Amino acid sequence: MMSFMFAIIRRDLLLVMRYPAEMLNPLMFFVLVVALFPLGISPEASLLSQVAAGIVWVAALLATLLALDILFKADFADGSLEQLLMAHQPTWILVLAKVIVHWLISGLPLVLLSPLVASMLFLPAEALPTLMFSLLVGTPTLSLFGAVGAALVTGVKNAGMLISLLVLPLYIPVLIFGTGAVAAAAQGLPVSGYLAYMAAMLIFALMITPWAAAMALKVGQMQG
């Protein structure tokens, strides 16, 4: 099973390298959203530092949504998804491999870019470790929940808006606790409670979403 999963990860990463725009688009969107907020609100450092946590997390959530459409779309279009589902391997392994690739090209770069965007928004330096850790825990959760929505709309044309409607309710708790953790750290308050809830959501997503997405893929393939 592990060799199958690593083969899928390697294959998908190679495909992404051939089309780098699929990886760069969410990152550019993330940076542009953060950069435009000071123009729309105010360039004052005192005001931006108060809302920096929410801005970064909303931008990260939207950037993750932007990349969800690539999870299964290309494999469905060229017919390889059907072949992968017929392989003598659990489908949840396929889903987990796809989620890992999605996080590597959309979630991990957001974590690495977070110090840059935090400095643009004058986030206090003491809150930066919490911001990076909350994104490190929260972005995989977003990818896992997003996989379920992407699996449900596989084969549906122009499904971007439909995916958003399906997964946004699942994203809200991650957004609340992620923003709360960073805001608390900026004020010098304890953050362990927020991070514990985020870790619990990640564990829950790991336990449930690969099997839910696998079932959605199988049902969709049967109907197709």
Q: For 68-103, write each residue's pLDDT tens digit.
A: 877 887 777 777 777 777 777 788 888 899 999 989
CB count within 10 Å of CB 107 equals 25
In the predicted structure, residue 223 carries a pLDDT above the cut 70: no
Q: What is the pLDDT of residue 183?
A: 92
pLDDT digits (tens, 9 = 90+) for 173-221: 999 999 999 999 999 899 999 999 999 999 999 999 999 988 888 776 6
Q: Which of 112, 149, 152, 143 is nearest to 30 (CA)?
A: 112
Residue type for position 211:
W
Residues ≥6 apart with Cβ < 8 Å to 76: 154, 155
Question: Which residue did the predictor score with more confidence, 19 or 198?
Answer: 198
pLDDT digits (tens, 9 = 90+) for 133-189: 999 999 999 999 999 988 888 867 766 677 888 889 999 999 999 999 999 999 989
Q: What is the pLDDT of residue 141?
A: 95
Q: How far is CA 13 from CA 104, 176, 222, in A?
A: 9, 31, 28
Q: What is the pLDDT of residue 7?
A: 86
- What is the rounded CA–CA span in Å between residue 74 and residue 101? 14
- What is the rounded CA–CA span in Å between residue 1 and residue 61? 31
In the predicted structure, residue 56 carries a pLDDT above the cut 60: yes
CA atoms within 13 A on the CB side of 178: 30
Q: What is the pLDDT of residue 222?
A: 56
Instruction: Tell me the CA end-to-end span of the chain in Å, nearest whole number.
Output: 27
Q: What is the pLDDT of residue 159?
A: 64
Q: What angle do CA 186, 61, 149 make, to 5 degrees?
A: 145
SS3 209: helix
Most confident of the ranges 25-34, 45-54, 63-72, 130-139: 130-139
- As given in the structure block, the two tokens for residue 163 are 């995916």
